Amino acid sequence: MRNANQWGIQLARDTDVTEYLIAPDPAAVRLTRAVHGVDHEGRETTLNVVEERPLTIFLNAQEIVTAMTIGDYPEYLALGFLRNQGMLRPDEDITRVDYDEELETVVVRTARATDYEDKMRRKTRTSGCAVGTVFGDMMEGLDGVVLPQTAVRTSWLYALSAKINRTPSLYLEAGAIHGTVLCQEDKPLVYMEDVGRHNAVDKIAGWMLSEGISAESKVLYTTGRLTSEMVIKTAMMGIPVLASRSGFTAWGVEIAQQLGLTLIGRMKGKRFVCLSGEDRLIRDADPALVADDPKRSGRKGAV
């Protein structure tokens, strides 16, 4: 497996957020655009709004999907999407990843010949806010998944929530966006954002694939709802814990319980709800000593 540098992928490092390997860059020029309008009192106003642009993903010579995305880390998004759809094997020999900014395409090339025409004919539109798509049977590939029974300390959850909610991000700058963070114990590692939470997860999956990162002891934190799609993607990545400040869907909870995935939602301040894997929680922090979640300054509608 080649690493990101061998593919020519540059890791963005934010010197002001030293704990992260990859952190959001709310000042990046291509990710937002200034739009002029008027407010409720008729006064002229200017807002930075999140960009959406198409990205077409190819696997070898076959066009797979066109995703709407903010446009950062296109190589990671392509790799993660294909991996989470089961189109790339865990031990896949990936020979090249080519991104053409002008054509807005990513081509992932493998040593193995691939043909997923039948799989692409069977697709399900998911509940993702930017209309996610899952090809084939949504449960396909989960039969052999065995997740590690990783213990989770509540002190880690409280620390992660506080750190992530205070991280400079596009959410705080412009809103209308989702964030997903790969964590280990109480440390946030990689923070990706996109207009669809599925895209943000796929970027993390692509980074993990390209860097050869183990999922065994990781926690995936997301700002979005804990839907069936989010649970399936997390399980496909081999990550044993999924947490969110948002709520659940019944099918998402059911799948998490079937797979033995620890599922924690409504995580704000001292409060959270665990609907799967409660026996793996180690309650080592007194909620009475945890500060309430401060009011966030991000735009409404971002979660």
pLDDT in tens, 104-116: 999 999 999 988 8
Per the prediction, the chain carries an average pLDDT of 86
> Which of these ranges, 136-145, 156-165, 235-244, 252-261, has the smallest mean pLDDT?
136-145
Identify whether 89 is part of a domain: no
Identify whether 231 is part of a domain: yes
**Residue written as tokens 């993903």?**
57
Q: How far apart are CA 55 and CA 206, in angstroms?
A: 15
Whether the predicted pLDDT of 16 surpasses 90: no
Q: How far apart are CA 227 and CA 77, in angstroms?
A: 20
pLDDT in tens, 196-215: 889 999 999 999 999 999 99
Structure tokens at 36: 């002029």
Residue 14: predicted pLDDT? 38
233: left (phi over 0), alpha (psi -120 to 50) or beta: alpha
Instruction: Report the run of H or E that residue 265 belongs to, with start and end.
Output: strand 262-268
Whether the predicted pLDDT of 238 surpasses 70: yes
Identify whether 128 is part of a domain: no
Confidence of residue 176 (pLDDT cuts 50, 70, 90): confident
Q: How far apart are CA 111 and CA 73, in angstroms?
A: 23
Identify whether 79 is part of a domain: no
Q: Tell me which residue range forms the domain holding 274.
A: 152-289
Identify whether 99 is part of a domain: no
Identify whether 200 is part of a domain: yes
Residue 267's CATH number: 3.40.140.10
Identify whether 302 is part of a domain: no
Whether the predicted pLDDT of 300 surpasses 90: no
Confidence of residue 172 (pLDDT cuts 50, 70, 90): confident
Whether the predicted pLDDT of 285 surpasses 70: yes
Confidence of residue 1 (pLDDT cuts 50, 70, 90): very low
Identify whether 198 is part of a domain: yes
Whether the predicted pLDDT of 190 surpasses 80: yes
Whether the predicted pLDDT of 268 surpasses 70: yes
Number of domains in the chain: 1
pTM assigned to the model: 0.85
Q: Are 206 and 78 in contact (CB under 8 A)?
A: yes
